[in-house]
Structure 1
Amino acid sequence: MTLEQIKEILPTLENVEFQLEDGTFVPEYFHVTEVGQITKKFIDCGGTIRKEKVVNFQLWNANDFEHRLKPNKLLHIIELSESKLGIEKGEIEVEYQSETIGKYDLDFNGNYFVLKNKQTACLASDACGIPAEKQKITLSELNSACCTPNSGCC
């Protein structure tokens, strides 16, 4: 989900709710403690220099059980970050504390924002020696005339 998409969705909501992919909800008293832009410059295992840029939201649960972040307040925080920090349009990444700080992609299911699990992957699979996944076929799919009955191949 992009920053522009969340800005379009927020005015249509009564409440801001986040749900993990496993169905559990972020407690409704969460805070958005940071909105920023993170730039990562790195080199992959194939030697290619890469640069990624994401808009980052950090969610935090405090002992503030009466706190509720309303959509217009989150929209205001986003707009403030755009004007003060010069945040550019881009994909949103959410940091949320579980056993450690997790990083999630963001989606919207029509009711709630969904924290989608991120996966690692090799960006230079052609250079790092990991074989491509082989196509699986059954023996009956092979078209080989040499192994028919009475063909003399066996």
Structure 2
Amino acid sequence: MNTSEFLSLLKQHQDKSLLFEYTDGKFVGANYHITEVKNITIDSIDCGTQTDFWKETIVQLWESPDEIGKTEYMSTYKALAILNKVDRIKPMTRDAEVKIEYSNDNFHTAQLFVNDYALDTNSLIFKLSVQKTDCKAKETCGVSEKTEKVVAEEGCCTGNSACC
């Protein structure tokens, strides 16, 4: 989901509570705060020497230990107000992918993709997902789609590989 779509959903549903489902059936606690918004520029080169460039908007969520047990979630209205304030100071790129950065005691820190959303009577729920790392240069590097377990002693680069 891009930043524009994310903001549009918030704007359309300002009367609802804002929830984030970080894995199936598990939600960021109601004690969360939006602690940072990052406008990220990625300028990369993959193992096959192909360059790439894109932008991302990262919205960081943090659960306040002082508000454990809180049951009322942040409203989309409040989240939108925070993001609009950020946008006035550091404009967000509207076509940039939006990701949610989050962790808790039982879930590693991750930048999660907004995979989908759901609505119910009271809530706008963003369904988040982790995307596995992948080789972008499979063809160049001679990597098959089906991955095989690599034995550590062999190393990752061979004399026949176009990579490394």
User: Which TM-score bucket, shorter chain as reference?
Assistant: 0.7 to 0.9
- TM-score (structure 2 length as normaliser): 0.73
Note the 1:74-85 alignment, pairs <5 A.
74-85=79-90
The 3-state SS of whatever aligns with 1:6 is helix
**Structure 1 equivalent of residue 138 of structure 2:** 125
Distance 1:42 1:2 in 2: 20
The 3-state SS of whatever aligns with 1:17 is strand
- Asked which structure has the greater CA Rg, the reply is 1
Deviations 1:15-55 (A, max 9, x none): 01111232111101101101121112111011011112111
The 3-state SS of whatever aligns with 2:132 is coil
Distance 1:37 1:94 in 2: 12
- 1:73 Cα offset (Å): 1.4
Alignment partner of 1:17 out of 16, 19, 28 = 19
Q: Is the 8 A contact 2:101 2:111 kept in 1?
A: yes
**Structure 2 equivalent of residue 142 of structure 1:** none
- TM-score (structure 1 length as normaliser): 0.77
Deviations 1:64-103 (A, max 9, x none): 3247422111111211222211221121011101443111
**Structure 2 equivalent of residue 34 of structure 1:** 36
* Alignment root-mean-square deviation, CA: 1.8
Distance 2:102 2:93 in 1: 22
Q: Is the 8 A contact 2:33 2:61 kept in 1?
A: yes
Distance 2:2 2:144 in 1: 34
Q: Number of matched residues?
A: 133
- Identity value in percent: 27
Q: Is the 8 A contact 1:82 1:88 kept in 2?
A: no
- 1:113 Cα offset (Å): 0.8
Distance 1:48 1:42 in 2: 8
Note the 1:58-77 alignment, pairs <5 A.
58-65=60-67, 66=70, 68-77=73-82
User: Does structure 1 residue 6 correspond to structure 2 residue 11?
Assistant: no
Runs of 4+ residues over 6 Å off in structure 1: none
**Structure 2 equivalent of residue 137 of structure 1:** none
Note the 1:97-136 alignment, pairs <5 A.
97-98=103-104, 99-106=107-114, 107-111=116-120, 112-132=125-145
Structure 2 residue runs of 5 or longer lacking an equivalent are 147-164
Distance 1:24 1:4 in 2: 26
Structure 1 residue runs of 5 or longer lacking an equivalent are 134-154
Distance 2:90 2:73 in 1: 25
User: Does structure 1 residue 96 correspond to structure 2 residue 102?
Assistant: yes
Distance 2:16 2:24 in 1: 23
